[in-house]
């Protein structure tokens, strides 16, 4: 018996046009039958191809073999594995969203901090200039007081 491997021909199965026997890799299900390639219709894996049991239409015969096309990972048995993978992918996505939101929040806080620092610097500069003005005023008042005293002394001494 000779079987050609590597011809890569696609054979239509049943009424599903996207279902084909992939001979190029000869992935076998738990029945040791060549798998059919099907297309995932889930939200997280739209149009993603996977290998399945050729008897997938018959729940009694289906061995629930599952494996994504293009992965050489372990041969998974059962669609509950896909469900678990989907759940994990979902939680990864949620975690990524969360991380992104945190990052944005951090950026906002950093920007706010820069604004606050700028306001702080401006207030500090203003307070310094006010202090300088106050010092200058005191100095001028002292000079005026001394001049007044001198004028009074001069007036008194003229009498």
Q: Which stretch binds Zn ion (CB under 5 A): 21-29, 75-83, 120-128, 131-139?
A: 21-29
Element (H, E) at 96: helix 79-158
Q: Give the strand pairing for 49-52 and 36-39.
A: antiparallel
29 binds Zn ion (CB under 5 A): yes
53 binds Zn ion (CB under 5 A): yes
Closer residue to Zn ion, CB minimum distance, 48 or 55: 55
Sequence-ordered list of residues with C-beta below 8 angstroms from that of 14, at least 6 positions apart, any chain: 57
37 touches 50 (CB < 8 A)? yes
Closer residue to Zn ion, CB minimum distance, 43 or 58: 58
63 binds Zn ion (CB under 5 A): yes
Compute the least distance from the CB of residue 50 to Zn ion, in Å: 13
Q: Minimal CA–CA distance to 62: which of 36, 26, 95? A: 36
What residue ranges bind Zn ion (CB under 5 A)?
29, 31, 53, 63
């Amino acid at each position: 018996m000779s079987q050609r491997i590597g011809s890569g021909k696609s054979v239509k199965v049943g009424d599903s046009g996207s279902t084909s026997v992939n001979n190029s890799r000869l992935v076998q299900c738990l029945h040791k039958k060549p798998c059919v390639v099907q297309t995932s219709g889930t939200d997280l894996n739209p149009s993603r191809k996977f290998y399945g049991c050729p008897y997938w239409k018959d729940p009694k015969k289906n061995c629930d073999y599952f494996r994504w096309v293009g992965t050489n990972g372990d041969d998974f048995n059962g669609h509950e594995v896909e469900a678990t993978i989907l759940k994990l992918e979902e939680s990864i996505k949620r975690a990524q969203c969360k991380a992104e939101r945190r990052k944005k929040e951090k950026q906002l806080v950093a920007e706010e901090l820069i604004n606050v620092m700028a306001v702080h610097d401006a207030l500090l500069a203003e307070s310094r200039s006010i202090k300088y003005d106050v010092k200058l005023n005191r100095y001028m008042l002292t000079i005026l007081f001394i001049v007044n005293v001198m004028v009074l002394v001069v007036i008194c001494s003229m009498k």
